[in-house]
Structure 1
Amino acid sequence: MELADRAVGFLLSFISLSIFTYYTFWVIILPFVDDDHFVHKYFLPQEYTILIPVSAGVALLCLLCIFIGFVMLKSKKKKA
């Protein structure tokens, strides 16, 4: 089981590092590259640099609030 845990941890670390590198290049370096350069076809338009993290944050906050609401409802039913 230890080997499987290490493999999953390595995979998650690799995915996180890849996303971080892609987003960092997209936000920090790409605005300084000419618009007609071929590298622009590998990235989404610049409008999404803010839209994607904000949407993910709002979705995460909503899911967290729903989870807390369910936990509060369950704990209230146990007391009664």
Structure 2
Amino acid sequence: MELADRSVGFLLSLTSISIFTYYTFWVIILPFVDDEHFIHKYFLPQEYAILIPVFAGVTLLCFLSVFFGVVKLKSKKKKA
């Protein structure tokens, strides 16, 4: 089981580092590169640099709110 945990941890770390590197390059470095440069075809338009994290944050808050609500409802049923 320890090998499986390490593999999953390594995969999650590699994914997180890849996403962080892509997003950092996309938001911080790419605006200073000429628009005609070939590197722009590998990245989404700049508008999505704000929309994607906002959508992810709102989705996360919705799921956390639903989870908290379900836990509160279950705890009330146990008390009664």
TM over 0.5: yes
**Aligned counterpart, 2:25:** 25
Q: CA deviation at 1:33?
A: 0.4
Q: 2:75 maps to which residue? A: 75
TM value normalised by structure 2: 0.98
Equivalent residue letter for 1:10: F
Cα displacement (A) at 1:38: 0.5
Cα deviation digits, residues 34-58 of structure 1 (max 9, x gap): 0011000000000000100010000
SS at match of 1:22: helix
Identity %: 81
**Coordinate RMSD, CA, aligned:** 0.4
Q: Which runs of 4+ in 1 moved over 6 A?
A: none
How far the C-alpha of 1:76 sits from its partner, in A, is 0.6
- Quick one: which amino acid aligns to residue 24 of structure 1? T
Which stretch of structure 1 is more off in the superposition, 22-31 or 1-10? 1-10
Amino acid at match of 1:12: L
Q: What is the TM-score normalised by the length of structure 1?
A: 0.98
Map 1:5-44 → 2, pairs under 5 A: 5-44=5-44
Q: Deviations over 1:9-54 (max 9, x none)?
A: 0000000000000000000000000001100000000000010001
Counterpart secondary structure, 2:21: helix
Matched residue pairs, number?
Answer: 80
The separation in 1 between residues aligned to 2:72 and 2:79, in whole angstroms, is 11
Amino acid at match of 1:49: A
For 1:4 and 1:68, locate their aligned partners in 2 and report how far apart those are by CA, in whole Å: 30
The 2-side partners of 1:12 and 1:77 are apart by: 37
